[in-house]
Each structure stands twice: as structure tokens, then as C-alpha cells.
Amino acid sequence: MEFGSINPVLLLASLMVAATPILLAALGELVVERAGVLNLGVEGMMIIGAICGFAVAVNTGSPVLGFVAAAAGGALLSLLFAILTQFALANQVASGLALTLFGLGLSALLGQGYVGIKPPPIGKLDIPLLGDIPLLGPVLFSHDLMVYFGLTLVVAIWAMLKYSRAGLVLRAVGENHDAAHALGYKVVRIRVLAILFGGACAGLGGAYISLIRVPQWTEGMTAGAGWIALALVVFASWKAGRVLLGAWIFGGVTVLQLNLQAAGIAIPVEYLSMSPYLITILVLVIMSADRSRAPASLGRIFHASQ
């Protein structure tokens, strides 16, 4: 085994790529949960995004259109969740699980003709001067657009929740839906919009896996990324900035274990590939002691009659 074969600069650069899918999905879920809705269907929406994005990108030859389709696909699936939980007042945990099971089945069906195809390549953004800086250049400034889109989204969501009126209303709905309703805010409408946004983000995250990270289509390829994204929201105490930190940690663990596999470490591959899931559990254990930051209405059903 040679640790020397692991290049720390490449490791950090690929960390940014590995972190992007769960970052996007977790940011979407963060907004959903701040609105007081627990959508456990992230995995299902991600895999639908992965196949929608892949299919459209292959057929049109445009990765950009692929990402647009992925966002639309994820949002469309999340609409089912919104109808179930906001209009049919179904249990959110059960509905989220249903969404995941349904999404996994639907994606397998849609993806039948796409196994073994390569998607159109997406250009990397080589910023002329910044990209040439030693160390920082390859780590920070030589990625595809979606990496930067993810980073921008972190800032946008942080600012939206903290400073904008829309963010305040969203948080009010999540903290106490009865009070928000009494103030005249449309609780159901706000929640539906948040759910759709969450679905679109999860779809983008899924498409990032199938179009850039892997890049090809295989059944069930998200392999728990959606669930890790859910854990990430808890880890981040429902704060956008800490989602980024968490995504980098998970990205780092994933990349490191892949590198260790490649370096031929004496531990069998199967045990190494358990590590992202075990780390997730560990992080949940550490972070769950403080439950006070969770939105107070999280997971509760809202019906205007009560």
C-alpha cells in the first residue's frame, strides 16, 4: 500500500465534486424542513432527477437541458408528496417513504434503454488566471458550473432565510403553522412551494451523479445519497452554511475511501465502502443531542379547522 499515491490536491478537488450532489439535495430539504415539512422522499426524487437528466441530456446532447429536465422531474415527483401531505393530509413519514419506493421503481422503468450509454460531456469552467494558481487553482477554480451553482445556492438560501421577508414567512410557517395561519399567511401554498423547490434541488443533485460524477446510468445509482442528505440537514442544525461544511465532510470521506481502495489498502473494499454510512450515523449521534433547533412544526399535519 502506498499513501504516497494519493495526491492531496486532487483529493480536495474531487471532494468538491463528490460533495455537490448531497449539497444540492440537502439544501432543498433544508428549505422544506424550515417550512415545517419532513419529506423523506429525497432518495426517490434524486433518482428520478438522475434518470430524467440523463435521458434528456442523451437525447438532446445538451447537459444544460438535462439539468433543467432533472429539476422539473424532481419537482413533479415532489408534487405527488405535496398533494398527499398538504391536501390529503397523509402522514409525512409514510408519504416520504412511498415517494422513495415509487421513485426507485419509476426510475428503473424509465432507465431501461439507457444502461451503458455515455452522456454528453459537460465543459469544465477553466478560469484563465485563477485556475493557474498552484494548489488553490485546481481545488477551487477548475470545476463544472454545477459546483459553483451549489455554492451560490448556499449563499442565496442563507440570505433568503436570514434577511428576506419570504424567508421570515417561511420560517414562521415552519415554527408555528397555526400562528402563521392566523396572521393570514397561506400555510399550504407556502409549503407546497417549498416542497417543489426541494424536489427540484434533489433532482439536480441526482442528475449531477448520473451526468458528471459517475457518469452513466445504473439502476439505484444514488445508493443512499438522498438519505445522507437528510442526515446532513440534521447535522447542519437547519442552517445553510453548515450544510456546506457537512457536505464537504461527507464528500471527503467518500473520496478518501475511494482513494484508499485504489491505493490497495489491506482492508477489503466492502468494509471501506461502509464508511460513508457509518460516518453518517456517527455524525447523527454527535449532533442529535441538541434538538432545540429543529423547526417546531416539523412533520405536523396542518388543517385549517383546528
Partner 1 sequence: MLRLEKRPQPSQVWTYLTPLLAVVITMIMGVALFAALGKDPVAAITTIFWEPLFGEFAFYYRPQLLIKGAPLVLIAIGLSLGFRAGIWNIGAEGQYIIGALTGAGVGLAFYPMESWVIFPLMVLAGAFGGWIWAMIPAVLKLRFGTNEILVSLMLVYVAEKLLAAMALGLMKNPEGMGFPGSRNLRQYESAHNAELITGSGMHWGVVAAMIAVIFAYILLNRHILGYHIRLTGQAPRAARFAGVRPARLVLFCLGTSGALAGLAGMFEVAGPAGQVSIDFNVGYGFTAIIVAFLGRLHPVGILLAGLLMALTYIGGELAQSNLGLPAAAIQLFQGMLLFFLLAVDVLTNYRIRLSRPEVA
Q: Site residues (CB under 8 A) for partner 1?
A: 40, 80, 83-84, 88-91, 93-95, 97-98, 101-109, 112, 219, 223-224, 227-228, 230-231, 234, 268, 270-271, 273-274, 277-278, 280-281, 284-285, 288-289, 291, 303, 305-306
Q: What sign results for the dihedral spanned by CA atoms 122, 142, 146, 218?
A: positive
Residue among 162 and 186 whose Cβ is closer to partner 1? 186
Q: Which lies closer to partner 1 via its Cβ, residue 123 or residue 306?
A: 306
- Give 66 or 226: the residue with its C-beta nearer to partner 1: 226
3-state secondary structure of 115: strand
| Distance from C-alpha of 6 to C-alpha of 35, rounded to nearest angstrom | 42
- Please identify, using beta-carbon distances, which residue of 56 and 231 lies nearer to partner 1: 231
Q: How far is the CB of 161 from partner 1 (least distance, A)?
A: 22
Longest Cα–Cα distance of the chain, Å, equals 66
3-state secondary structure 121-184: CCCECCCCCHHHCCCHHHHHCCCEHHHHHHHHHHHHHHHHHHHCHHHHHHHHHHHCHHHHHHCC
Q: Nearest to residue 195, comparing CAs of 34, 23, 24, 4?
A: 34
Residue 206 to residue 227: CA distance in whole angstroms: 12
Nearer to partner 1, 84 or 170 (CB): 84
Indicate the residue among 126 and 219 with the shorter CB distance to partner 1.
219
Closest separation between CB of residue 293 and partner 1, Å?
12
Determine contact, residues 21/147, Cβ cutoff 8 Å.
no
Structural contact between residues 295 and 175, judged by C-beta atoms closer than 8 angstroms = yes
Q: State the amino acid at position 6 in one-letter form.
A: I
Measured between alpha carbons, how far is 33 from 174 in angstroms, rounded to an integer? 7
Cβ at position 272, least distance to partner 1 in Å: 9
Q: How far is the CB of 123 from partner 1 (least distance, A)?
A: 33
Minimum distance, C-beta of residue 84 to partner 1, in the bound complex (Å): 5
- Cell numbers 415527483 correspond to 77
CA distance 193 to 291: 26
In the complex, minimum distance from the CB of residue 209 to partner 1, in angstroms, rounded to a whole number: 16
For the chain, the C-alpha Rg in angstroms (whole number) is: 19
Residue 127 vs 214, nearer CB to partner 1: 214
Closer residue to partner 1 (CB): 101 or 262? 101
What's the closest the beta carbon of residue 71 comes to partner 1, in angstroms? 22
Nearest to 240, CA basis, from 175, 171, 137, 185: 171
Q: Find the shortest distance in angstroms from Cβ 149 to partner 1.
A: 26
